[in-house]
A and B are shown apart, each in its own frame.
Chain A
Amino acid sequence: MPFVQNFPFFSIILSMFSGIVSAVLPARAAKWVNGVLIGTVGVLSAILLVYLMGTKEAFVYWMGHFPAPWGNEIRAGALEAGMALFFCVILLLSMLGGQKKLVGEVEYSKHNLYYILVDLLLSSLLALVYTNDLFTAYVFVEINTIAACGLILIRQNGRTIEAAVRYMIMSLLGSGLFLLGLCTLYDLTGHLLMSNIREAVAQLSRQQAYTVPLLTTIGLISAGLAIKSALFPFHTWLPDAYGYSTVSSAAILSSLVSKGYIFLLIKIFYRVIGFEIIGESKVINVLFVFGLMGMVFGSLSAIRENDIRRMIAYSSVAQIGYIYMGLGLGTQIGIVASVFHILSHAATKSLLFISAIGLTDVSGGSRKFLDLTGAGYRNKLAGVAFTVGSLSMVGVPMFSGFVSKLLFMEASLGHAIKMFPALLVLALSTILNAIYFMKTVIRLYVPDKRPDFGQITMKDEKLYAATLICFIALNVTLGMFSQPIVNWIRTGLSVFG
């Protein structure tokens, strides 16, 4: 076995132990451990990605060297390794961008707790990405939820506690359904390893046996993960949680936590149930409809919002809708579009959250649109960054959002019945996106000299400026060099199942 095949396991265990060690470290040391950890995991994932792009196939890693039906497994292909690398990049940039705010908003004595939570969140995300065992996936889903709840709570005020309670309630409903679905699936197939379940499910569907329980199971698992990733009617906790937590948390929650669940759902579609059976089942039609509704209603709520952070949060609801619409098409290219949108939305939404902080800082800390007038002149780089994020969300060429919209259009053209509603809602949602994002950008650049608010230049906050520049570069890279990335997703998906 080549040594590089140990890397997924190393990444998971390294992040978990960093969390444990950070518990006894002072805040400064915990911060360094956290930074070095994310960097190391990123490098490990990058090496793994290069190796897997070379071999063009996935490998299975036996945990504790027990063979297939008994042991626990890790399975890594190009898609998983690339996803891990991408998550690390976004996590590192979000942590760096929110560093200053963390100092201002969270008591110093709680800083090392924050880094513990981030370490554990990273380990659970990596485990969700790499695991090949359904019950392990459930346990790490719960760890992810608890860590995310801590990230919301770390800034203590009434709003965040209430948001955390609502988040926990929704998440627990989701994981209850997921657990029940998982138990039924274990009961039907007698396996917990994903690849073994798929063989058993394929056999069941050939024999036409247990069709109703199987359908129920798919429904329960999809509904559970959809609730956890804040698909449209289950998004009530989201604006408060993203709007009032500290900015790193908001960026991490919107771009990583919900994406981890969606990635797990895609994995279950491919590897546990089998893509043909999913394509024939009615469950994806439900996901499709809710995705479309989310795209419209999320944007409508965002238009009504008068608070920049909450507006960005509502926009997340719409973007999650896009991803579920892609899943709901039930075609290979639909999944490619969804995976690309996971990347594009993660890069854009964290950019928007981080740049919004720079803008509110030069507006007396107010997040109301009226006070933000002219903020683009007071903090030039944050203004540019916010504009880039907005253009990308709307889907202007050169930025990442354009490519994902193009892929969604292409994907929906391949489907006879779903083509018309998908295209219609895509167009409608683009217009709605344009309304609220362009409204904000215009507001930022309406000349309004307010001497009392002061200015922030790039030299004042070097780290913050560097983070924003990296984010902009990432966004433009995703937009301009999309072909290699789409090829990578295709290669990854071909060995994913």
Chain B
Amino acid sequence: MLGPNLFANYGEAVAIILFGIGFSNLLLQKNLIKKIIGLNIMDTAVYLYLAEKGYIDGRVAPIVTNGVQEVGAYINPVPSGLVLTGIVVSVSVTALMLSLTIRLYRRYHTLDLDEISTRLKKEGL
């Protein structure tokens, strides 16, 4: 049963794989910029997942243009709304992370978080 299910839902499968890639980058990379890239991949993967789940084949976005008013003709608008909200959230956390990265780079002239930690320990502040 796994095979056909997987192929029918390949969009979701790709989204989850991307989520894994982003997650492990955010967790394991030493370089702060690569971590932020990982964060963005992870968040975007969730939006892809939502968009895939919200789309129904053969239906269109719920904007009445040609007078068709029946529910069956349109997709559910809520997942798209969630994606929009999610994008706002992820833009703000990305901005915050980037500004923190600039602060750290100006102070220590490196983007390697582990090196910054070892230097802080040496400073013994």
Q: Which residues of A contact B (CB under 8 A)?
A: 135, 138-139, 142, 145-146, 149, 153, 157-159, 161-162, 164-166, 168-169, 172-173, 176-177, 179-180, 183, 186-187, 192, 244
Enumerate chain B residues within 8 angstroms of A166, measured Cβ to Cβ: 113
Enumerate chain A residues within 8 angstroms of B108, measured Cβ to Cβ: 158
Q: Is the CB of A183 within 8 A of B85?
A: no
Q: Which residues of B contact A (CB under 8 A)?
A: 19, 22-23, 26-27, 32, 35, 39, 42-43, 46, 49-50, 53, 78-79, 82, 85-86, 89, 92-93, 96-97, 100-101, 103-104, 107-108, 113, 116-117, 119-120, 123, 125
Q: Closest CB-CB distance, B106 to chain A, in whole Å? A: 10
Enumerate chain B residues within 8 angstroms of A161, measured Cβ to Cβ: 100, 103-104, 107
Enumerate chain B residues within 8 angstroms of A142, measured Cβ to Cβ: 89, 92-93
Q: Is the CB of A168 within 8 A of B93?
A: yes
CA distance A42 to B23 in the complex (A): 39
Q: A161-B103, A162-B120, A169-B35 are in contact. Are A176 and B23 (CB under 8 A)?
A: yes
Q: Is the CB of A183 within 8 A of B82?
A: yes
- Given A168-B96, A186-B78, 17 other A-B contacts at CB below 8 A? A135-B82, A138-B89, A139-B85, A142-B92, A146-B92, A149-B96, A159-B120, A161-B100, A161-B107, A162-B104, A165-B104, A165-B113, A176-B19, A176-B43, A179-B46, A180-B46, A183-B46
Q: Closest CB-CB distance, B124 to chain A, in whole Å? A: 10
Top-9 shortest CB links A-B? A142-B89, A187-B53, A176-B42, A165-B100, A161-B103, A179-B46, A183-B50, A158-B120, A172-B39
Please classify the interface of chain B as helix (H, G, I), strand (E, B), loop, or mixed, using the class held by over half of its residues: helix
* B86, closest chain A residue (CB): A179
The CB with the most chain A CB atoms within 10 A, among B85, B89, B125, is that of: B89
Enumerate chain B residues within 8 angstroms of A159, measured Cβ to Cβ: 120, 125
Q: Is the CB of A173 within 8 A of B27?
A: yes
Please classify the interface of chain A as helix (H, G, I), strand (E, B), loop, or mixed, using the class held by over half of its residues: helix
* B88, closest chain A residue (CB): A139
Q: Closest CB-CB distance, A410 to chain B, in whole Å? A: 38
* A166, closest chain B residue (CB): B113
Q: Is the CB of B53 within 8 A of A183?
A: yes
Q: Is the CB of A172 within 8 A of B26?
A: yes
Q: Is the CB of B26 within 8 A of A164?
A: no
Enumerate chain A residues within 8 angstroms of B43, measured Cβ to Cβ: 176, 179
Q: Closest CB-CB distance, A178 to chain B, in whole Å? A: 10
Q: List 5 A-B contacts (CB under 8 A).
A: A146-B96, A162-B117, A168-B96, A180-B49, A183-B49
Enumerate chain A residues within 8 angstroms of B92, measured Cβ to Cβ: 142, 146
Q: Is the CB of B53 within 8 A of A158?
A: no
Enumerate chain A residues within 8 angstroms of B49, measured Cβ to Cβ: 180, 183
The CB with the most chain B CB atoms within 10 A, among A162, A169, A172, A192, is that of: A172
CA distance A169 to B104 in the complex (A): 15
Q: Closest CB-CB distance, A441 to chain B, in whole Å? A: 26
Q: A165-B100, A180-B46 are in contact. Are A158 and B125 (CB under 8 A)?
A: yes
Enumerate chain B residues within 8 angstroms of A183, measured Cβ to Cβ: 46, 49-50, 53, 82
CA distance A262 to B97 in the complex (A): 25
Enumerate chain A residues within 8 angstroms of B79, measured Cβ to Cβ: 186
Q: Is the CB of B53 within 8 A of A169?
A: no
Q: Is the CB of A173 within 8 A of B23?
A: yes
CA distance A162 to B19 in the complex (A): 25
Q: Is the CB of B101 within 8 A of A169?
A: no
* B108, closest chain A residue (CB): A158
Q: Is the CB of A146 within 8 A of B93?
A: yes
Enumerate chain A residues within 8 angstroms of B19, measured Cβ to Cβ: 176, 180
